[in-house]
């Protein structure tokens, strides 16, 4: 006897949603960790923010740090 397609599609949809939520949670945790480390330099000069990024290259992705610190990635690499 074949399983109804509705159940299979529903299962796939739930698995897809779970995968999406796990990714969202991982991103939120990453942002939280960056914010915890950089709380003192959120309103600092751009150069101070770039120094923070230099100091934390091994901990966090540059792209995410730049986004959270509101500086351009291309400006960091200049």
Residue 72 corresponds to which tokens in the numbers above? 């351009």
Q: Which residues contact 60 (CB under 8 A, 6 or more apart)?
A: 30, 33, 34, 37
Give yes or no for residue 10 having a pLDDT over 90: no
What is the domain range of residue 9? 5-77
Q: The dihedral of CA 73, 63, 46, 28: what is its sign?
A: positive
Gyration radius from the chain CA atoms: 19
Q: Alpha carbon of 53 to those of 3, 14, 36, 38, 49: distances in Å?
A: 53, 37, 14, 9, 6
Residues 19-43: tens digit of each pLDDT = 999 999 999 999 999 999 998 898 9
Give yes or no for residue 7 having a pLDDT over 80: no
Confidence at 1, pLDDT banded by 50, 70, 90: low
- The domain total for the chain is 1
Mean pLDDT on 38-60: 94
């Amino acid at each position: 006897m074949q399983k109804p397609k509705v159940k299979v599609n529903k299962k796939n949809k739930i698995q897809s949603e779970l995968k999406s939520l796990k990714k969202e949670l991982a991103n939120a945790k990453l942002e939280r960790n960056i914010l915890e480390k950089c709380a003192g330099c959120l309103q600092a000069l751009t150069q101070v923010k770039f120094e923070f990024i230099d100091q934390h290259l091994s901990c966090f992705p540059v792209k995410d740090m730049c986004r959270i610190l509101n500086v351009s990635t291309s400006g960091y690499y200049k």
